Structure 1
Amino acid sequence: MANIAVQRIKREFKEVLKSEETSKNQIKVDLVDENFTELRGEIAGPPDTPYEGGRYQLEIKIPETYPFNPPKVRFITKIWHPNISSVTGAICLDILKDQWAAAMTLRTVLLSLQALLAAAEPDDPQDAVVANQYKQNPEMFKQTARLWAHVYAGALFYSFKTSKNQIKVDLVDENFTELRGEIAGPPDTPYEGGRYQLEIKIPEIYPFNPPKIQFITKIWHPNISSITGAICLDILKDQWAAAMTLRMVLLSLQALLAAAEPDDPQDAVVANQCKQNPEMFKQTARLWAHVYAGAPVSSPEYTKKIENLCAMGFDRNAVIVALSSKSWDVETATELLLSN
């Protein structure tokens, strides 16, 4: 490397090390090549963005003609951003191209990249797929960018949990084909105090087809199978639209717990009980919320019947299902258990 480039990059390297941003752990630079031809940069995801909490590694190559030509910079850490390739990490930023000036420094570059994370320019994209999602479905873009920040950049969690609605989602498969959702039982319902786990599978043709979702946590609800966790909800079927998001789905499922539709059931036994004996339905749903979803203790009477049949050697889950489906009549529930 030409002597002028070496002297310049050494000075800028020290400038970054002594900078206020480095002391605050916002930017960082390390030497890779003792000839100062390659550096390793790092920037923190800006606050109040999907990248917050993430740490983004950068490959920085210094040309012999530096500082008259810009450094060659790309993201090593994968990131979901309109101006950065989700595949190669290539960056679309004017100061790394025709707007470069010899007076600019490494610190200028790192701070400009951090600013780019906070203010994307989707009309001048590096990644057309990301830019299209950014413009057409901003909420989905934010969720996806946050997920990538969690998986690849070490953000503490991927979640769109809110204290009000108490919903969240976590990654299961790093290929983004499976997620684990969770919703809180709504207040003033039999499900209050419970936490309900959901299996979420993302099809290849998402968002044009809905995600496939089922309850992992057992639940007593007319529109959810008490056996398989399958769900009867229109937006997961023919009423799905590509503009819908995972957040909308989870909120809709939470709303379903608060407003069952027994005339369009997934579980006919539960739906019949809901219509014929609403009070028994509430007590049964409350007991299931306690046993399976961690809600506070419910009916002592129902709990005693469960314990009595379990003492006879029957499986606990089978006992709960039998009593629930037989209106808590011990005799007919016992007959059902024996027949199975």
Structure 2
Amino acid sequence: MKQVRSRRLMKEYQELCRITQASSNPMFSVSLVDDSLYDWKVKLLHLDQDSLLYRDMVAYGVPFILLSITFPDTFPFQPPFLRVLSPRIEKGYVMEGGAICMELLTPRGWASAYTVEAIIMQFAASLVKGQGRISRKPLKDFSKRAAETSFRAVVKTHDKYGWVTPPLAEG
């Protein structure tokens, strides 16, 4: 299984590097953390210019949104873990610790055919759709552990109610 993961990630990483280097204005860039094929940093360089988040980025001089993607041993059969590292974002389906609330990042919503590029593009779209904003208030714990805990809680909620917001009376 680890061979499948390594081959797939090497192919995707090389392709994404080729695409972004060939573009004069790439939407994002990718890099490896400590030369590990299983831990990536993504700089989301462009968002919809009509979005509130884009305006916040311009106003605060934020050149990109930095994401972390960690690929489990079971990738591509299980989804990677994606979280926002900086800036701190509120709304836009970004939760405590920078965790992301997206069905396609859950075991139930994941398909092994999804590419890393598709994940990044879907996340960028959901940030805008969810009216993400740069947080002006200090957030609680913004660690990977907080993100993982927050993500597990949202998956549990969505497993119970589906991918709709439950009524407030039900929690």
TM, length-normalised to structure 2: 0.66
Output the CA distance in 1 between the equivalents of 2:123 and 2:14: 19
Matched residue, 1:45: 47
Aligned match for 2:103, one of 82, 86, 94: 94
What is the distance in 2 between the residues matched to 1:33 and 1:90? Answer: 22
Residues 21 and 91 from structure 1, CA distance in 2 versus in 1: closer, same or farther, beyond 3 angstroms? farther
Confirm or deny: 8 A CA contact 1:83 1:93 kept in the other structure. yes
Percent of pairs with identical residues:
24
* Contact 2:31-2:40 at 8 Å conserved across structures: yes
C-alpha separation in 2, matches of 1:11 and 1:113: 21
In the alignment, the residues of structure 1 paired with residue 34 and residue 72 of structure 2 have an alpha-carbon distance, to the nearest angstrom, of 13
Deviations 1:137-157 (A, max 9, x none): xxxxx8xx2xx27x7xxxxxx
Uncovered stretches (5+) of structure 1, i.e. residues with no partner:
121-133, 135-141, 152-173, 176-340
Q: Distance in 2 between matches of 1:39 and 1:16?
A: 12
The residue type paired with residue 128 of structure 2 is A
Residue of 69, 82, 87 corresponding to 1:73: 82
Report the equivalent of 2:27: 26
User: Do the aligned partners of residues 22 and 83 (structure 1) sit closer, same or farther apart at CA in structure 2, a change above 3 Å counting?
Assistant: farther
Q: 1:70 to 1:26 in 2, by over 3 A?
A: same
| Aligned residue identity for 2:127 | L
Amino acid across the alignment from 2:73 = E
Which residues in structure 2 correspond to 1:205-284 (within 5 Å)? none
Q: CA distance change for structure 1 residues 7 and 20 in 2, over 3 Å: closer, same or farther?
A: same
CA distance in 2, matches of 1:106, 1:47: 23
Aligned-pair CA distance for 1:22:
7.6
In structure 1, how many angstroms separate the alpha carbons of the residues matched to 2:117 and 2:92? 23
- The answer as to whether partners of 2:92 and 2:127 remain within 8 angstroms in 1 is no
Q: Distance in 1 between matches of 2:123 and 2:3?
A: 27
**Unaligned 5+ runs, structure 2:** 139-171
Q: Which structure has greater strand proportion?
A: 2
Looking at structure 2, the residues matched to 112 and 22 of structure 1 have their Cα atoms a distance apart, in angstroms, of 22
Instruction: Name the counterpart of 2:9.
Output: 9
One-letter amino acid matched to 2:126: L
User: Per the alignment, in what secondary structure is the counterpart of residue 36 of structure 1?
Assistant: strand
Q: Secondary structure at the match of 1:88?
A: helix
1:103 corresponding residue in structure 2: 113
Q: How many residues align?
A: 127
Call closer, same or farther: CA 1:89–1:80 in 2, change over 3 Å.
Answer: same
RMSD over equivalenced CA pairs, Å: 2.4
Matches within 5 A, 1:315-334: none
Q: 1:105 to 1:2 in 2, by over 3 A?
A: same
Larger Rg: 1
**Kindly tell me: are residues 99 and 84 of structure 1, through their superposed partners in 2, closer, same or farther at Cα, counting changes over 3 Å?**
same
Counterpart-to-counterpart distance in 1, 2:92 and 2:117: 23
- Give the aligned residue type for 1:8: R
Measure the CA separation in 2 of the matches of 1:72 and 1:8.
Answer: 16
- Alpha-carbon distance in 1 for matches of 2:52, 2:22: 22
**Quick one: which amino acid aligns to residue 105 of structure 1?**
T
SS of equivalent to 1:102: coil
**Which residue number corresponds to residue 206 of structure 1?**
none
- In structure 2, give the amino acid aligned to 1:51: L
Q: Kindly indicate whether structure 1 or structure 2 has the higher relative contact order, using CA contacts under 8 Å at least 6 residues apart.
A: 2
Q: Describe the superposition over 1:230-283 as per-residue Cα deviations: whole angstroms up to 9, x where unpaired.
A: xxxxxxxxxxxxxxxxxxxxxxxxxxxxxxxxxxxxxxxxxxxxxxxxxxxxxx
